[in-house]
Amino acid sequence: MSVGPGEDLNFLKKEFEEFLKGLICLPIKFPGTRLYKSLKAKERLLKMVRKIVEERKLTMEEISDEKGVAKDAVDVLLRDNGEANEKQSLSLDFISSNIIEMMIPGEETVPMAMTLAVKFLTDSPVALKQLTFESQGSRICWENLCLPTRVGTSSLGCGTGLKVINETLRMANIINGVWRKALKDVEIKGHLIPKGWCVLTSFLSVHMDEENYDNPYQFDPWRWEKMGAAINNNIFTPFGGGQRLCPGFELSRLEISIFLHHLVTTYE
């Protein structure tokens, strides 16, 4: 949003942190509960973001800059008119909600994955040495570090970089579970889940199950030489799966790839 240091940024940071605390909590909503505080923080956050979006839109209209170069996500969304034959712009409420959703991977999950990758590599000198070796020198290092070979596809390289990222995501379990509501009676392996019940899907249990991974508590990037780089399967779910697969999974791995490349080639 291009918000510089000051009161607005401090307010956004404070309310965003309060909002995050309620992403996974007991679904009990009354004053004083974690969920209630989180939702109230989101309301205040949404109000501030909408104010910023409104001011940016007004500025664009005043200087007739609707087709200029976008400086941030707010500019991109304000300039988005949908399909080529549509003239209606996105609503300010929609834009504001999307900005808040973008904050989660931008400020929480991806930075945490980067931090844990550094920790795991520090504990695994062999993996660090191999990653550093592949990242040095010619252009091939980018491919080994698993940058996408084609924009918009899931064609990633298979070097140590990708193995490190996958293993970091498996062990970190940054999003350790998601809530889902049964829209009808569902039976899974003889267990009935009645319509209307909420189910907590535990990614942590999947990633740390010895039936799925040998020595699951050991950081072992080379296990992915046998498993491959598949993202959408039922035993590797850091980005969810199925129709609800996170649309930013490639961008997240790309950001971590670039970070690791510069880390191992610039610093000792």
User: What's the pLDDT tens digit per position in 64-103?
Assistant: 665 667 788 888 888 875 544 455 567 888 888 888 888 8
Using pLDDT thresholds of 50, 70 and 90, give the confidence band for residue 242: confident
Contact at 8 Å (CB) between 145 and 161? yes
At residue 199, what is the residue type? V
Please check whether residues 86 and 153 belong to one and the same domain. Answer: no
Q: Are residues 47 and 83 in the same domain?
A: yes
- Report yes or no on 105 lying in a domain: no
Reported as type and span, the H/E element at residue 116 is helix 110-123
Domain's final residue, options 58, 76, 96? 96
pTM over 0.75: no
| 136 and 242 belong to one structural domain | yes
User: What are the tokens at 28?
Assistant: 């009990």
146: pLDDT strictly greater than 60: no
Residues 6+ apart with CB under 8 A from 48: 8, 11, 12, 15
Residue appearing with tokens 């695994």: 124
Q: Is residue 88 part of a domain?
A: yes
Total number of domains in the chain:
2
pLDDT of residue 88: 53
Q: Are residues 133 and 82 in the same domain?
A: no
Residue 194 has pLDDT above 90, yes or no: yes
Which domain does 244 fall in, by range?
Answer: 124-266
